[in-house]
Structure 1
């Protein structure tokens, strides 16, 4: 009994130490980058990803359900203990359970939130940008999207479509990383392929297009979304798999992986997703300029964006709002906050690249 209590106490104490250590590392990104992200954690991520990559399905999807069921059982036991005695012991078990999950999360991936920001790695200068610069960026992305759109396939409804769907898309996603890892070795390495999520259609109600699970090292993709989003989402989750935890940086890395990809569907996916983000920023800044630029969309781009809007409209509701709140709180807890002069980190990175 004493040994069990000692072990439980040790796990809880270790979790508190990790919390303290995490706060210290926030002010030492160079140390995290050198000794964690690009050394021991990179090896850990690759080994985990290699092992789970053997399976054609998402191991993480089953693991998540197992962990949720386990937590529910622990909570039910806690309620029973309230009536029959042993409440404090069971409460301690819950704290230990959560402590172990936290410790594993941080050791397997979580400290990557403290690594060098990608703009420093890429040599890009983030600065306050004018509305004119944002306008020019959007105009450039519209031209690129229009040009690429006429070279990709579409279905009978005139919407961009990829023959073979996700089965064709996911194995090809690595090609973009093979191209950009020559310039950014931090993105190199051998990892398992992105995995389709079995409950993708249900996942749409949360508004989530993909998820990276550190416990298995898998990049998981919602395959029910429009095809051009599947390409980008796969590249986005693969950025997390390579140790880039911040969402907006993963978006920009996905853009790089897609636009440098040898296949046109990925190039178009990267361009139109960058366009959506940039135009959203412009709409929040200058609606007149926004409306003026939307008139430049090609017929194909308009159809794709309308289809995407209508697709997500079907899933709007309370579940999505709750999921967004949970995700936002999670991101804020890991320090993902942008300054008041920011258009959003991805757009800031696109602007920095545009200027360069």
Structure 2
């Protein structure tokens, strides 16, 4: 049954990308705005006794149609065969994760020296369009035993119209299943942004689970010839490994952070500054609701890295 929805996804994705990719702004965000306006209008009608019953009926119709379309276009993909079933079993020990963390620390330090900086010495991507095209090209090189999904050359990455708000929610990007656009927050530091593009492109391919999209994003960027994309990917992988270790060996993580290169330390401070400047109620609210959403769709909550790390360790066992 799931295979039917996988084929439907490929069909609708290609049509939607051809329809909306050429639009210079996020068409999906515009749809959400119009939907929000319609719901507000109907809620106002709901508060009036004379129109209450018809307004309630219309709200239920709108919500049910939206949910139904979401499920057939995207929701059913959460029930695909998980990637982990395609990789060999191995024990994800603390020592294995430590070794990988040290490996990606050295890789990040080396690649960081190859990228450009802004006037404050912070990593700054020079050409987002080039990164997006590189991601589309790299999709075609994914291992066939992991990915049998169809990639294309249609660039449907879109900066979200909600970028400023997203900065206060902790949401880095999202995939719009109604328009097949990969939305991203253009205000993100480059160290976050490039891997976010890779992650959202993985959703465009049809990988619905968040941690699997991280893994596919890793495969796209880890061996890229583009040093900017590779650095963002290596740095994300390093941070994920350290996050998986910190509760078991805090001293190891402290030592690793101390051994960041001076360039990486500046990038880390820039990320912390961005997070600090955008903390607040929205961040906590969306973190809570996103956690519920992930768990309701057969996934781990947003605060854990364990599934991505297990996929990484299993894959590295095959490709040391």
TM-score scaled to structure 1, two decimals?
A: 0.83
CA-to-partner distance for each residue in 1:204-236, whole Å, 9 max, x for gaps?
Answer: 011111011111111011111011222111111
Higher helix share: 1
Structure 1 gaps, min length 5? 1-30
Separation of aligned partners in 2, 1:195 and 1:173: 14
* Residues 81-92 of structure 1 mapped to structure 2, 5 A cutoff: 83-84=49-50, 86-92=51-57
1:97 maps to which residue?
Answer: 62
The equivalent residue for 2:196 is 233
Counterpart position of 2:132: 170
Q: 1:128: how far off?
A: 4.5
Q: Which structure 2 segments of 5+ residues have no match?
A: none
Deviation at 1:175, TM superposition (A): 2.4
Contact 1:176 1:262 in 2 (8 A): no
Give the equivalent residue in structure 2 for 1:106: 71
Alignment of 1:324-343 (within 5 A): 324-337=287-300
1:60 matched to 2:28? The reply is yes
> Please, which of 15, 36, 43 is the counterpart of residue 5 of structure 2?
36
5 Å-filtered alignment, 1:61-76, equals 61-76=29-44
User: Given that residues 156 and 180 in structure 2 are in contact (C-alpha distance below 8 angstroms), is that contact kept between their aligned partners in structure 1?
Assistant: no
Work out whether residues 83 and 146 of structure 2, in 8 Å CA contact, stay in contact via their aligned partners in 1.
Answer: no
Give the 4+ runs in structure 1 shifted more than 4 A.
181-185
Please state how far the C-alpha of 1:185 moved relative to its aligned partner: 4.4
Alpha-carbon distance change, 355 to 172 in structure 1, aligned in 2, over 3 angstroms: closer
- In the superposition, the TM-score normalised over structure 2's length comes to 0.92
Contact 1:177 1:187 survives alignment (8 Å): no
Q: Give the CA RMSD over aligned residues.
A: 1.9
SS at match of 2:87: coil
> 1:170 touches 1:194 (CA, 8 Å); kept in 2?
yes
Structure 1 residue 127 displacement after superposition:
5.0
Mapped contact 1:196–1:223 kept (Cα < 8 A)? yes
